[in-house]
Amino acid sequence: MNTIQSIIIAIVEGLTEFLPISSTGHMIITEKLLNLSENDFSKVFTVAIQLGAILAVVVLYWRKFLDFKNWQFYAKLVAAVIPAIVLGLLFSKKIDALLESSLTVAISMLAGGIILIFIDNVFKEHTIDDEKDISFTRAILIGVWQCLAMIPGISRSAASIIGGMQQKLTRHAAAEFSFFLAVPTMLAATGYKLYKYYKEYGGFSSNEIQQLAIGNIVAFVVAMLAIKFFIGFLKKHGFRVWGYYRIVVGLALLVLILTGYISR
């Protein structure tokens, strides 16, 4: 992996992590289009640069994350992330195997796109517009919805936002809680991957550290812009356009697979 490839993948991560279009799916596609050879470091890199995206959420919502008197906020996030941690540990090998499947991404993109086109009409009752009004039970159920994103192409953001709307949150509140939930979820996933890599290889080379630093900085900047754009766009237009986008990308990916341009 060279610096240009690192920057391109980090841009894709920053742009897609908090949009309901699957960052994992887009990075899998990007890696294949770049003809990036799969190795243990490239797998760790695509997860580790999520730290930059996490930092973007913390910076943008620093008042929320640094309000240490509001212990319930942190407790809700911990409760909500438990389902993903448990399932992630139990099925880590199967999840890693799915991450290598472009066909799984294509099908997930199409299915998720169809759902997003109609989701605004499915969940019309919105009674919760603030994180403080989200109960622990609702937080845990949103965390369960988030687990669907273990299938590449589903989108962690989409799954948790839809889960929030199903739990009576407004689009805005569901999106913000999805951002908040991303912090412990992605921190746990990144920490686990880094620990496994360190345990197996004993650390990172100077070049690998450089690529990780560049990737996280780029992901942080791009994610900041993407989050600001998404919240404003979502309030005005809802999810329909993202549904159409997913369908177009899913169909394009199927064509690339069927023509042999990228592997299944």
pLDDT in tens, 16-64: 989 998 887 788 778 878 887 777 788 888 889 999 999 999 999 999 8
Let me know if residue 28 belongs to a domain.
yes
CA–CA dist 16, 111 (Å, integer): 18
Q: For residue 143, name the pLDDT band (cuts at 50, 70, 90).
A: very high
Let me know if residue 132 belongs to a domain.
yes
Q: What is the pLDDT of residue 110?
A: 93
Let me know if residue 166 belongs to a domain.
yes
Let me know if residue 37 belongs to a domain.
yes
Full domain range(s) for residue 173: 3-258
Least confident of 19-33, 49-63, 69-83, 206-220: 19-33
Number of domains in the chain: 1
Quick check: 263 pLDDT over 90? Answer: no
Quick check: 95 pLDDT over 80? Answer: no
Cα-flanking dihedrals φ and ψ of residue 128, to 5°? -120, 120
Q: For residue 201, name the pLDDT band (cuts at 50, 70, 90).
A: confident
Percent of the chain with pLDDT over 70: 99
CA–CA dist 143, 113 (Å, integer): 21
Mean pLDDT taken over the chain: 88
Let me know if residue 8 belongs to a domain.
yes
Let me know if residue 263 belongs to a domain.
no
Quick check: 206 pLDDT over 80? Answer: yes
- List of residues 6+ apart from 213 with CB closer than 8 A: none
CA–CA dist 239, 233 (Å, integer): 9
Q: What is the pLDDT of residue 75?
A: 95
Let me know if residue 192 belongs to a domain.
yes
